[in-house]
């Protein structure tokens, strides 16, 4: 072999003979190995090349074993090669023997295919010959089929024409009135049959075939004649012959109507010599004939019978339009004077006033509806046509709608302020409301009666489907007549406004408090909203449209006026001429005039309770206004829902609430002005000992503690926390400004001030949780609340008082440690702050220059700063001006953010309401 197997290298060449003999005894059979290899290669799907080295290493693990079995392996391979050669030779011999027979089989198959193709062509030729023979045989039969089809069509057409002529003749015979009435029941069936037959001759009519056109014209003439006769018969039954004659004369333009002679229209050979001057007493159509007439109208089609129903209803309401027409206010035309005197009695003004009022007036509106019930529904429909009109005709609903439409036009004329028919009572609110109420009652009663007695189903315009005809769609009756009042409800709105103005006038001096709720509120506020709710109930019972929207506008005006009344109950603003805590001047401080724009207030003793009542009332009003807005938006018509917005009214009460909190803060600061004056006037430079809290601290306690206990249970918790935040910020700022205005503070004075500051800080940390004293008011003290001050408030108080404590600690620091302690304790402190500390320590100017140089300023700047005579008062002025500028910017930013937040809340509220999307 060219390459030694890897297994041979592992064993080595120095193996013993005995090991070779032992290995030969355990060697695998070479023939079995080759058979297994052949089977694996045949069953394996991989196409990898055979590696003999791997095969030998895998089956012969030592060189001795491979050397011992190499002769047997060579013999096995040789025998396998010989065996394969024999098989290949035998296969080639068999293949050569079968090649000749295969060629013979292919030739036989080709010949069979050619024979089959020839036979197929013969079959196709015979099929074509058969088809030609069949066509020649059936040619005459096709002609006969066409003749048969045309003959059948002609026979069918002749039969249809005969049926049409016969039906027309029967219709003509039916229309012959004679001494009785037409048989409208039979005529209805004939009309339907004639219409169906005429559809078969539509093409002939379009081709202007004269006989068919004459026949169609005759049918139309007969139908028109019977239609006219039927309308006349219905009028005679409903109104009588005399009134029918006047109606027909009025419809024909004032001349005597020419009645259609049905006999002349039906008979072409007979002459009509009957004259209208010899009218006989007309006989009323019996119920059977009337019912047949209804069927005849329905046979003519829906447009025809709908028009007939409309004309009949107008005839029934003819007297209504005349009797209840609005009287004109125009002065009568004066007739020219005549020589011959008239003996007619002149009507005096007293007699005219005492005469019976015309029925068309506004205060007589109930008579209209009584007349409609008695004269139309009862005497005509119920008494004369009870079983005549089918339910599908909705004759009562049609009459009611036409009556309400006529009433609407009359009411519009009576209420029109510029019209000649305006009623004198149109501006009288009670009369106007009574007329509207009576109209609504009639609309609701007639609607309920139709639904109960006639099974009428009313559908709005949005509910009517496309397939619904004019007859089957009945729109609601409510609002047909009452909508005339919609644009003329100003007297009613004025009456409501007057009533609310009276309540507002009483609320000006009324300070009565309602203690039934969670917080005490002015009883005038609850009375106002009770009246508003009642006003909404009264208005929505009559209308939910424009009048309700105008009433909503009146509510807005009254609420804004009430907000002004609440503002009037607050203490007035006082003039502030100095920089004191509550508006009083403090010696030693001259603040520029630009800083005096903040208003100051003084609260008399006990008036803080009134301010608390104003806050609680404003919160109650704001919450109720929000609920009122939702109620109005859900109740008013959809056309006005998007216009309902009472955010401005809520803002009015919120603004007064914010003003009230500012007044409480300013008023309490004003009460502490004497204590701050004591702090400012005390000679702290000569203070030599540290004792208990100072007198001004006790005064502050005496003012703050009862004030806080008084207001805590009388205003909502959120507003009380806001008050505490604002008061703590204002108090600490004032205390800090007062402290830095002091001229010099000794070391014992510094320790005393630190003790006072700690005492005040302890007081302020307890402010939000101070309990009301039992028995101080008629209300129970607040219980169940938190006894821990809010974390944000605590952080604010700690920060503000911490700044004051840092200032005082630095003032008490020795001069040699001042700079280091200042940099450590006053993080972010400037040179100006450092100079304030030195001024409070009473350091001379040269000492300040040296300290400023050590602080980090160059000598010239330090000298300039010390020589500029910067006092604590000027520092305060500059800081006040800076704070005012920052406050304006913050206020503008907060206002912008509040507007954005309010808009988002409104959008969210609209999204959760069902219309608006």
DSSP assignment of 334-381: PPPP-SSPP-SPPPPHHHHHHSPPPTTSGGGHHHHHHHIIIIIIIIII
Which of 41-50, 609-618, 848-857 holds the top average pLDDT?
609-618
How does pLDDT run across 641-671, given as a tens digit for each residue?
Answer: 999 999 999 999 999 999 999 999 999 999 9
Within 10 Å of residue 895's Cβ, how many Cβ atoms? Answer: 10
Average pLDDT over every residue of 596-601? 71
Residues linked to residue 514 through DSSP beta bridges, in sequence order: 521
Q: What is the pLDDT of residue 565?
A: 94
Tokens of 788: 């821990």
Residues linked to residue 600 through DSSP beta bridges, in sequence order: 574
CB environment 296-327: b (16+ within 10 A), e (fewer): bbbbbeeeebbebbeebbebbbeebeeebbbb
Site of tokens 């959120």: 718
Same domain, 292 and 196: yes
Round to whole Å and give the CA distance between 192 and 190.
5
pLDDT band at 906 (very low <50, low <70, confident <90, very high): low
- Show which of 169, 192, 210 is a domain's final residue: 169
Site of tokens 């520092």: 875
How does pLDDT run across 215-224, given as a tens digit for each residue?
Answer: 878 888 888 8
- Asked, for residue 881, whether it belongs to a domain, the answer is no
Total residue count of the chain as it appears in this document: 917
Average pLDDT over every residue of 794-823? 90
Q: Which of 300, 311, 295 is CA-nearest to residue 224?
A: 300
Which of 22-31, 288-297, 885-894, 908-917 holds the top average pLDDT?
288-297
- Asked, for residue 431, whether it belongs to a domain, the answer is yes
pLDDT band at 625 (very low <50, low <70, confident <90, very high): very high
Say if CB 684 and CB 746 are below 8 A apart: yes
Count how many domains the chain has: 4
Q: What is the pLDDT of residue 120?
A: 92
Beta-carbon-side half-sphere exposure of residue 569 (alpha carbons within 13 Å): 28
Beta-carbon-side half-sphere exposure of residue 649 (alpha carbons within 13 Å): 24
pLDDT band at 18 (very low <50, low <70, confident <90, very high): very low
Q: What is the pLDDT of residue 462?
A: 64
Pairing, β 600-601 against β 573-574: antiparallel
Percent helix, strand and coil across the chain, each to the nearest 5: 70, 0, 30
Same domain, 229 and 257: yes
* pLDDT greater than 60 at residue 806: yes
- Asked, for residue 618, whether it belongs to a domain, the answer is no
Q: What is the pLDDT of residue 608?
A: 92
Same domain, 161 and 190: no
Tokens of 7: 């297994």
H or E element at residue 119: helix 63-175
Same domain, 240 and 200: yes
pLDDT band at 465 (very low <50, low <70, confident <90, very high): low
Q: Largest Cα–Cα distance in the chain? A: 181
* pLDDT greater than 70 at residue 719: yes
Round to whole Å and give the CA distance between 837 and 856.
16
* pLDDT greater than 80 at residue 887: no
180-189, 571-580, 586-595, 900-909: which range is least confident on average?
586-595
Tokens of 822: 């200042």
Pick 230 or 575 by higher pLDDT.
230
- Show which of 488, 504, 539 is a domain's final residue: 488
pLDDT band at 619 (very low <50, low <70, confident <90, very high): very high
First to last CA, the chain: 94
Residue 819 to residues 191, 741, 853: CA-CA distances in angstroms? 120, 21, 11
Q: Which of 683, 685, 723 is CA-nearest to residue 707?
A: 723
Same domain, 209 and 80: no
Average pLDDT over every residue of 765-793? 66
Round to whole Å and give the CA distance between 64 and 22.
10
* pLDDT greater than 50 at residue 558: yes
- Show which of 169, 189, 210 is a domain's final residue: 169
Same domain, 679 and 804: yes
Q: What is the pLDDT of residue 98?
A: 80
Round to whole Å and give the CA distance between 329 and 424.
9
Say if CB 526 and CB 623 are below 8 A apart: no
Tokens of 482: 């009452």
- Asked, for residue 499, whether it belongs to a domain, the answer is no
73-87, 723-737, 773-787: which range is least confident on average?
773-787
How does pLDDT run across 40-74, given as a tens digit for each residue?
Answer: 877 776 667 778 888 888 888 888 888 888 888 88
Q: Is 458 helix (H, G, I), strand (E, B) or coil?
A: strand
Same domain, 113 and 245: no
473-487, 498-512, 614-628, 751-765: which range is least confident on average?
473-487
Residues with Cβ within 8 Å of 471's Cβ and at least 6 positions away in sequence, in order, are 302, 305, 306, 392, 393, 394
* pLDDT greater than 70 at residue 810: yes
Round to whole Å and give the CA distance between 191 and 232.
20
Round to whole Å and give the CA distance between 257 and 250.
9
Phi, psi of 192 (to 5 degrees): -65, -40
Say if CB 455 and CB 391 are below 8 A apart: yes
Judge residue 489's burial from the number of C-beta atoms within 10 Å of its C-beta, 0-12 exposed, 13-18 middle, 19 or more buried.
buried
CB environment 765-792: b (16+ within 10 A), e (fewer): bebbebebeeeebeeeeeeeeeeebeee
Tokens of 200: 């078969």
Q: Is 521 helix (H, G, I), strand (E, B) or coil?
A: strand
Same domain, 136 and 184: no
Judge residue 329's burial from the number of C-beta atoms within 10 Å of its C-beta, 0-12 exposed, 13-18 middle, 19 or more buried.
exposed
Q: What is the pLDDT of residue 858?
A: 65
Say if CB 768 and CB 721 are below 8 A apart: yes
Round to whole Å and give the CA distance between 690 and 65.
115
pLDDT band at 705 (very low <50, low <70, confident <90, very high): very high
Residues with Cβ within 8 Å of 522's Cβ and at least 6 positions away in sequence, in order, are 507, 510, 511, 512, 513, 514, 566, 613, 614, 617
Tokens of 27: 């060697």
Same domain, 54 and 164: yes
Average pLDDT over every residue of 564-573? 92
Q: What is the pLDDT of the chain when averaged over all its residues?
A: 78
CA 466 to chain centre: 27
Pairing, β 521-522 against β 513-514: antiparallel
Tokens of 498: 């007057």
* pLDDT greater than 50 at residue 339: no
Same domain, 142 and 232: no
Residues with Cβ within 8 Å of 797's Cβ and at least 6 positions away in sequence, in order, are 728, 732, 761, 764, 765
- Asked, for residue 477, whether it belongs to a domain, the answer is yes
- Asked, for residue 795, whether it belongs to a domain, the answer is yes
How does pLDDT run across 224-246, given as a tens digit for each residue?
Answer: 888 888 888 888 888 888 888 88
Q: Which domain holds residue 195?
A: 176-269+283-300
pLDDT band at 286 (very low <50, low <70, confident <90, very high): confident
Residue 144 to residues 131, 148, 151, 755: CA-CA distances in angstroms? 20, 6, 10, 135
Residue 357 to residues 324, 330, 361, 898: CA-CA distances in angstroms? 11, 16, 8, 62
Q: What is the pLDDT of residue 723?
A: 94
H or E element at residue 127: helix 63-175
Same domain, 12 and 95: yes
Q: What is the pLDDT of residue 597?
A: 52
Q: What is the pLDDT of residue 704?
A: 93
Same domain, 213 and 76: no
- Asked, for residue 163, whether it belongs to a domain, the answer is yes
pLDDT band at 271 (very low <50, low <70, confident <90, very high): very low
Beta-carbon-side half-sphere exposure of residue 112 (alpha carbons within 13 Å): 6
How does pLDDT run across 363-400, given as a tens digit for each residue?
Answer: 888 898 999 999 999 999 898 888 888 888 889 999 99
Q: Is 470 helix (H, G, I), strand (E, B) or coil?
A: coil
Round to whole Å and give the CA distance between 239 and 39.
118
Q: What is the pLDDT of residue 555?
A: 94
- Asked, for residue 255, whether it belongs to a domain, the answer is yes
Helices within 416-522 (DSSP H only): 429-453, 490-509
DSSP assignment of 659-709: HHHHHHHHHHHHHTHHHHHHHHHS-GGG-----S--HHHHHHHHHHHHHHH
Percent of the chain residues topping a pLDDT of 70: 77
Residues linked to residue 601 through DSSP beta bridges, in sequence order: 573
* pLDDT greater than 50 at residue 595: no
Judge residue 57's burial from the number of C-beta atoms within 10 Å of its C-beta, 0-12 exposed, 13-18 middle, 19 or more buried.
middle
Q: What is the pLDDT of residue 774?
A: 43
């Amino acid at each position: 072999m060219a390459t030694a197997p890897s297994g041979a290298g592992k064993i080595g060449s120095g193996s013993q003979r005995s090991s070779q003999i032992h290995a030969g005894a355990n060697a695998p059979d070479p023939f079995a190995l080759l058979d297994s290899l052949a089977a694996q290669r045949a069953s394996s799907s991989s196409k990898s090349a055979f590696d003999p080295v791997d095969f030998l290493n895998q089956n012969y693990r030592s060189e001795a074993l491979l050397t011992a079995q190499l002769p047997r392996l060579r013999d096995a391979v040789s025998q396998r090669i010989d065996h394969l050669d024999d098989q290949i030779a035998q296969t080639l011999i068999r293949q050569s023997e079968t090649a000749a027979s295969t060629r013979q089989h292919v030739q036989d198959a080709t010949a069979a295919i050619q024979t089959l193709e020839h036979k197929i062509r013969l079959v196709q030729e015979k099929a074509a010959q058969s088809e030609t023979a069949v066509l020649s045989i059936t040619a005459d039969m096709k002609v006969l089929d066409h003749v048969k089809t045309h003959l059948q069509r002609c026979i069918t057409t002749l039969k249809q024409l005969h049926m049409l002529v016969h039906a027309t003749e029967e219709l003509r015979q039916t229309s012959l009135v004679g001494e009785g009435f037409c048989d409208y029941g039979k005529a209805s069936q004939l009309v339907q049959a004639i219409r169906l037959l005429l559809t078969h001759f539509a093409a002939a009519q379009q081709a202007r075939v004269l006989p068919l056109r004459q026949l169609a014209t005759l049918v139309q003439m007969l139908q028109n004649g019977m239609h006219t006769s039927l309308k006349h018969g219905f009028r005679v039954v409903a109104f009588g012959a005399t009134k029918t004659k006047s109606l027909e004369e009025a419809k024909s333009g004032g001349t005597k109507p020419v009645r259609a002679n049905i006999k002349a229209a039906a008979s072409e050979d007979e002459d009509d010599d009957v004259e209208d001057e010899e009218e006989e007493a007309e006989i009323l159509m019996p119920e059977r004939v009337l019912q047949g007439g209804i069927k005849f109208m329905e046979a003519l089609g829906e447009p025809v019978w709908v028009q007939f129903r409309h004309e009949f209803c107008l005839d029934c309401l003819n007297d209504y339009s005349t009797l209840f027409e609005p009287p004109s206010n125009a002065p009568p035309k004066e007739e020219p004077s005549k020589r011959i005197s008239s003996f007619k009695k002149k009507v005096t003004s007293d007699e005219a006033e005492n005469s019976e009022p015309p029925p068309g007036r506004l205060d007589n509106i109930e008579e209209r509806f009584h007349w409609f019930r008695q004269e139309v529904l009862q005497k005509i429909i119920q008494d004369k046509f009870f079983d005549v009109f089918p339910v599908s005709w909705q004759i009562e609903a049609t009459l009611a709608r036409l009556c309400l439409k006529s009433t609407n036009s009359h009411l519009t004329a009576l209420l029109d302020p510029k019209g000649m028919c305006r009623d004198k009572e149109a501006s009288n609110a009670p009369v106007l409301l009574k007329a509207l109420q009576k109209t609504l009652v009639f609309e609701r009663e007639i609607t309920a009666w139709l639904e109960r007695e006639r099974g009428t189903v009313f559908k709005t315009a949005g509910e009517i489907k496309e397939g619904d005809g004019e007859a089957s769609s009945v729109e609601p009756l409510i609002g047909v007549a009452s909508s005339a009042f919609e644009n003329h409800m100003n007297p009613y709105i004025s009456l409501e406004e007057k009533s609310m103005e009276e309540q507002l006038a009483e609320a000006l001096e009324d300070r009565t408090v309602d203690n039934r709720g969670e917080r005490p509120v002015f009883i005038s506020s609850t009375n106002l909203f009770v009246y508003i709710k009642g006003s909404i109930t009264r208005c929505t019972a009559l209308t939910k449209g424009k009048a309700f929207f105008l009433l909503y506008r009146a509510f807005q005006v009254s609420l804004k006026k009430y907000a002004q009344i609440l503002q009037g109950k607050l203490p007035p603003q006082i003039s502030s001429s100095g920089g004191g805590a509550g508006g009083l001047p403090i010696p030693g401080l001259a603040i520029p005039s630009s800083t005096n724009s903040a208003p100051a207030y003084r609260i008399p003793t006990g008036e803080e309770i009134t301010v608390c009542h104003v806050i609680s009332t404003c919160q109650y009003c704001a919450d109720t206004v929000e609920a009122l807005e939702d109620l109005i938006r859900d109740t008013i018509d959809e056309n006005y829902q998007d216009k309902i917005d009472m955010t401005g009214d809520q803002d009015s009460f919120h603004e007064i609430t914010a003003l009230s909190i500012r007044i409480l803060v300013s008023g309490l600061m004003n009460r502490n002005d004497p204590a701050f004056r004591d702090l400012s006037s005390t000679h702290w430079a000569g203070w030599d000992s540290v004792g208990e809290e100072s007198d001004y601290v006790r005064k502050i306690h005496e003012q703050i503690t009862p004030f806080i206990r008084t207001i805590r249970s009388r205003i909502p918790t959120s507003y009380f926390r806001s008050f505490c935040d604002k008061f703590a910020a204002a108090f600490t700022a004032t205390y800090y400004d007062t402290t830095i205005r002091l001229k010099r503070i000794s070391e014992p004075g510094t320790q005393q001030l630190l003790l006072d500051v700690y005492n005040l800080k302890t007081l302020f940390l307890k402010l939000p949780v101070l309990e009301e004293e039992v028995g101080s008011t008629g209300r129970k003290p607040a219980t169940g609340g938190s006894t821990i001050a809010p974390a944000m408030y605590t952080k604010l108080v700690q920060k503000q008082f911490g700044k004051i404590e840092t200032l005082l600690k630095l003032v008490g620091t020795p001069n040699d440690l001042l700079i280091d302690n200042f940099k450590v304790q006053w993080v972010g402190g400037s040179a100006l702050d450092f100079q304030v500390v030195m001024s409070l320590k009473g350091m001379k100017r040269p000492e300040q220059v040296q300290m400023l140089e050590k602080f980090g300023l160059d000598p010239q700047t330090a000298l300039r700063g010390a020589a500029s005579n910067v006092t604590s008062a000027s520092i305060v002025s500059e800081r006040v001006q800076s704070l005012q500028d920052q406050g304006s910017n913050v206020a503008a930013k907060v206002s912008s953010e509040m507007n954005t937040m309010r808009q988002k809340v409104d959008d969210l509220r609209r999204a959760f309401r069902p219309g608006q999307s």
